[in-house]
Structure 1
Amino acid sequence: MALRVEVPLSAINTEVELPITIGLGGEIITAGTLYLDVRNGQVEDFRKPYADALREIADAMEQSTGTDDGEVPDAAARG
């Protein structure tokens, strides 16, 4: 016996947690987590939180090397 349940998209409201992984050479590290909000069955715009997470990772990598060569030419503006 099969059971089928239909749920309207408006009932799907949740948060999805995705790891941000970076591969360097043969190693893969989990550098952070991106949380995606799902409202009314649609993933809300995640570009800004994703860009913020990548900037934070880049800043941490820059600080860990002890050298700061300044900003990258033609990089996207912050904010």
Structure 2
Amino acid sequence: MAVRVEVPLSAINEVELPITIGLGDETITAGTLYLDVRNGQVEDFRKPFADALREIADAMEQPTRADGGEVPDAAAHG
């Protein structure tokens, strides 16, 4: 059974999009991008998206373990 719900664009204030990264058969959700909606239009998403990608890249360059320690054999940053 399918249900269809229609919502006017004026009722939507924000769109939440997961940022996923895949490598081979593995996929992780690296973060979430929140986009503001004004007057039924999504605000320019380029800056928030670029900021999110920079944050992910920084985390990949400086990997840490769950306990806060450094990852053995990780590439040196600098």
Normalised to the residue count of structure 1, the TM-score between the two structures is: 0.68
Letter in 2 for 1:67: A
Unaligned runs of 5+ residues in structure 2 are 1-5, 64-70
Q: What does residue 42 of structure 1 align with? A: 41
Tell me which stretches of 4 or more aligned residues in structure 1 moved more than 6 Å: none
Unaligned runs of 5+ residues in structure 1 are 71-79
Normalised to the residue count of structure 2, the TM-score between the two structures is: 0.69
Q: What does residue 16 of structure 1 align with? A: 15
The alpha carbon displacement at 1:25 in A equals 1.1
Aligned-pair Cα RMSD in Å? 2.1
Identity percentage of aligned residues: 76
Letter in 2 for 1:48: K
| Greater RCO (CA < 8 Å, at least 6 residues apart) | 1
Q: Please give the residue correspondences for 1:51-66 in structure 2 after superposition, counting only pairs within 5 Å.
A: 51-64=50-63, 66=74
| Number of residue pairs aligned between Structure 1 and Structure 2 | 63
